[in-house]
């Protein structure tokens, strides 16, 4: 899954594609590098990110969708939003294929109904709080067990409502410390008990660049290392800024395991 952020403030400057020309250039690279799907975001979810109005978020998302569809009409498009109204309009009016919700439906009560009604594939991520304050909520007794339990409860609720086409995301970097991120990664096989595809989004995140004392710009090698470990532990989808490197990791791990 290639990341296309139509935002001016995403944490990694290499993923920002705010104007139409940069959006097109970035989308072209993701597609030419072999992305299987593209995740478009119009609202930065970095720690401490400021709020964006729903209208502005939808305008940015529309710019991204229109650009990708012109370049590759058949590539699946995921929309990174926690707002049900934005999700509904993106699916019904703009042709989005997947909804990627960093809050697992907790920031908007209407999300469950929207997903159930539209039968849209849904990525359910774990997070506490909001992007602006999430790093205040990192108190866990056992981070992996508690995230698995939370996802299990949310899956049951969505299932009862008729929303069953769901990918789970442990939420690396969201309301977790660096140590907790590594603890989750080391026990990632526990997420397989939920019997859902697992998406891992650790590309160039602080768990990498703070550990190595480098910048996000320098974190590609570390990203590839951790993506490889995630694949070994059962990850089904890698959400990445650098598609070519991720595809190489997928191919080599697949060769090793078969």
Would you please indicate which residues are annotated as catalytic (active-site) residues?
205, 239
Dist. CA 54–CA 86, nearest whole Å: 7
Inter-residue contact 78 to 100 (CB < 8 Å): yes
Sign of CA dihedral 124, 129, 132, 133: negative
8-state DSSP, 16? B
Q: Where are the alpha helices (DSSP H) in the chain?
A: 20-32, 54-71, 84-92, 110-118, 143-160, 178-186, 206-212, 220-232, 243-257
Phi, psi of 35 (to 5 degrees): -60, 135
Dist. CA 208–CA 200, nearest whole Å: 14
Phi, psi of 31 (to 5 degrees): -70, -45
Beta bridge pairs of residue 148: none
Looking up tokens 């920002």 gives: 16
8-state DSSP, 172? T
8-state DSSP, 21? H
8-state DSSP, 51? P
């Amino acid at each position: 899954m290639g990341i296309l952020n139509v935002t001016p403030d995403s944490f990694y400057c290499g993923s920002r594609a705010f104007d139409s020309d940069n959006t097109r250039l970035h989308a072209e690279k993701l597609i030419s590098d072999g992305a299987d799907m593209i995740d478009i975001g119009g609202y930065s979810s970095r720690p401490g990110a400021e709020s964006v109005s729903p209208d502005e978020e939808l305008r940015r998302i529309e710019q991204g969708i229109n650009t990708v569809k012109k370049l590759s009409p058949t590539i699946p498009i995921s929309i990174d939003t926690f707002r049900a109204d934005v999700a509904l309009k993106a699916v019904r009016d703009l042709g989005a294929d997947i909804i990627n919700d960093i809050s697992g439906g907790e920031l908007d009560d209407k999300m469950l109904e929207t997903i159930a009604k539209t039968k849209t594939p849904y990525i359910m991520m774990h997070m506490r709080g909001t992007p602006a304050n999430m790093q205040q909520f990192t108190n866990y007794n056992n981070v992996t067990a508690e995230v698995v339990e939370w996802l299990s409860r949310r899956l049951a609720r969505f299932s009862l409502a008729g929303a069953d086409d769901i990918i789970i995301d442990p939420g690396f970097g969201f309301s977790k410390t660096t140590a907790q991120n590594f603890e989750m990664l080391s026990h990632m096989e526990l997420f397989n008990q939920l019997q859902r595809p697992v998406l891992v989004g650790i590309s160039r995140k602080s768990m990498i660049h703070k550990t190595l004392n480098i910048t996000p710009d320098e974190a590609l090698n570390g990203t590839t290392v951790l993506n490889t470990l995630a694949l070994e532990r059962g990850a089904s989808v890698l959400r990445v800024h650098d598609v070519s490197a991720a595809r190489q990791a997928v191919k080599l791990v697949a060769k090793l395991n078969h």
